[in-house]
Amino acid sequence: MLPTEHIQLARRFLVDADRELDAGDHFQASEKLWGAASHMVIAEMHRRGIKQSGHKAMVDTVENISEKLEDPQLSDLFARAEALHANFYHGFMVPDDVLRYRGRVHEFVDRMAELTG
């Protein structure tokens, strides 16, 4: 996939997550929100020529971007998306947590889109 396709998919996942939240399926919403964040990171990895070799590579990429921009909030926003990914498998969040983290994932996607273009 091209970076632009990853960005489009991320945006679609955000819409899908909202639909899942409206339907009351917080587990699926959690995974869609994670998907949106991860596809934005993958798009930026492609743009930078970084091999997409798994979760650690994504975390390292976000950490590096965060350090270069001197913006620790970017890493914090991505950590919220990671928590949503874990929630899909372990169900430890209440619906209000998912709703609150939703906004943080939207912010992460928007900020990564500024980088990736």
| 115 vs 12: CA distance, rounded Å | 19
- Joined tokens for residue 101: 């983290």
Provide the residue-wise pLDDT of the chain in tens; the chain has 117 residues: 888 999 999 999 999 999 999 999 999 999 999 999 999 999 999 999 998 888 899 999 999 999 999 999 999 999 999 999 999 899 899 999 999 999 999 999 999 999 865
What CATH superfamily is the domain 3-116?
Nucleotidyltransferases  domain 2 (1.20.120.330)
Which amino acid would we find at residue 100?
A: R
DSSP secondary structure letters along 34-92: HHHHHHHHHHHHHHHT----SHHHHHHHHHHHHHHTT-HHHHHHHHHHHHHHHHHHH--
Neighbours of 103 (CB within 10 A): 11
- 3-class secondary-structure state, position 94: coil
Token match 């959690």: residue?
A: 30
